[in-house]
């Protein structure tokens, strides 16, 4: 089936505001246009499709307050969405739904930079036809998808096979009646054994690929957490239950608590990439449990996925370091 890429408007105009620090044009735009990668922006600049004050520039051009930047985005070409033999870890399937364990590294749906190799491509192959048993409410780009997980987040997802199932599940997500439990490895030792993080967040006003409390459109969000295991002073294994479903919510909330998710440089910087020589391979966040009312039977069902091997390996390594430190101190 033909798939149309979704880009920003054909023409986008930005004016650099007073107080903006000098930086390269491509860096500035990468923070303002989250749908475009820095490399894509550089190509547009070199093609003359991005100008400053009506003049062509280079990607290294430094912006300054008052500059008028115009982006001309070429209209997208049709994209053929094809089934791809990507293995799926199916936890449950019936005539209405499919529940799977998404691995870390798998993008859920097509987006700029990821037009193939996604969960959607895998689902099309699983059903052996682009017109197979998947709900159509999400459109051609997101057949069957009721919710999503970030690329580096692993764990349980539910897919709707019928439009009726999609409507039922979507209503439950909107009402926040879905049971969702995550596990995360957070940087440092979280002192309080449990608590609730309440912080209104939205797209960051300066870094458009991030979400934070520094936003023009804050939306209320809340996450309940419980400490499961402290790995000395290095890290904490924490269980989290989001009460709302904002983008990057858990990652933003833990960072606001002062304990960003390990392996998440977007919200934790360099310090979360490595601890005492232990390399953190990805964002250490796992969607462990998903519970909901079955769209057909109305009965509550729950599905759980254990911690993946990469997270377990990091826990074991950090626990060994913490244990050695305790023995030395004793």
Residues noted as catalytic: 150
The DSSP string of 17-79 is PTTPPP-BHHHHHHHH-TTS-HHHHHHHHHTT-EEETTEE--TTPBP-TT-EEEEEPPPPPEE
Bin 45: left if φ > 0, else alpha if -120 < ψ < 50, else beta.
alpha
Q: What letters, b where the CB count within 10 A reaches 16 and e where it falls short, cover 221-252?
A: bbbebebeebbbebbbbbbbbbeeebebbbbb
- Rounded to 5 degrees, φ, ψ at 135 are -65, 150
Q: How many angstroms from the chain centroid is the CA of residue 192? A: 27
Going by the DSSP 8-state scheme, the letter that residue 271 receives in this structure is G
Burial class of residue 159 in the structure, from the number of CB atoms within 10 Å of its CB (0-12 exposed, 13-18 middle, 19+ buried):
buried
Residue holding tokens 């033999």? 85
> Nearest-CA neighbor of 147 among 126, 129, 169?
169
What is the token pair recorded at 56?
């062509």
Q: Token pair of 113, please? A: 């930079």
Question: Packing angle between helix 25-32 and helix 38-46, nearest 10 degrees?
Answer: 130
Q: What is the largest CA-CA distance in the chain?
A: 69
- Cα separation of 233 and 251, whole Å? 20
């Amino acid at each position: 089936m033909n798939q149309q890429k979704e880009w920003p408007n054909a023409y986008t105009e930005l004016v650099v505001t007073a107080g903006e620090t000098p930086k390269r044009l491509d860096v500035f735009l990468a923070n303002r246009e989250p749908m475009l990668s820095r490399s894509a922006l550089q190509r547009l600049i070199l093609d003359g499709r991005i100008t400053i004050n009506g003049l062509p520039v280079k990607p290294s051009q430094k912006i300054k307050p008052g500059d008028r930047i115009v982006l001309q985005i070429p209209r997208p070409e049709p994209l053929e969405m094809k089934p791809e033999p990507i293995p799926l870890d199916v936890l449950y399937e019936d005539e209405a739904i499919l529940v799977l364990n998404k691995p870390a590294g798998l993008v859920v749906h097509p987006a700029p930079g990821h037009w193939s190799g996604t969960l959607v491509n895998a689902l099309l192959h699983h059903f052996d036809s682009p017109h197979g048993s998947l709900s159509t409410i999400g459109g051609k780009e997101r057949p069957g998808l009721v919710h999503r997980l970030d690329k580096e987040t692993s764990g349980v997802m539910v897919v709707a096979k019928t439009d009726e199932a999609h409507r039922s599940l979507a209503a439950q997500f909107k009402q926040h009646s879905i049971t969702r439990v995550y596990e995360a490895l957070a940087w440092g030792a979280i002192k309080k054994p449990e608590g609730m993080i309440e912080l209104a967040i939205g797209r960051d006003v300066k870094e458009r690929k991030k979400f934070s409390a520094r936003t023009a459109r804050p939306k209320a969000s809340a996450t309940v957490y419980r400490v499961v295991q402290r790995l000395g002073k290095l890290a904490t294994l924490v269980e989290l239950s989001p009460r709302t479903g904002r983008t990057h919510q858990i990652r933003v909330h833990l960072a606001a608590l002062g304990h960003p998710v390990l392996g998440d440089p977007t919200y934790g910087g360099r310090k979360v990439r490595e601890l005492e020589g232990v390399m953190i391979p990805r964002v250490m966040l796992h969607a462990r449990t998903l519970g909901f009312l079955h769209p057909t039977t109305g009965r509550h069902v729950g599905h759980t996925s254990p911690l993946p091997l990469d997270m377990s390996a990091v826990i074991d390594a950090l626990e060994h370091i913490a244990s050695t430190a305790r023995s030395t101190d004793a």
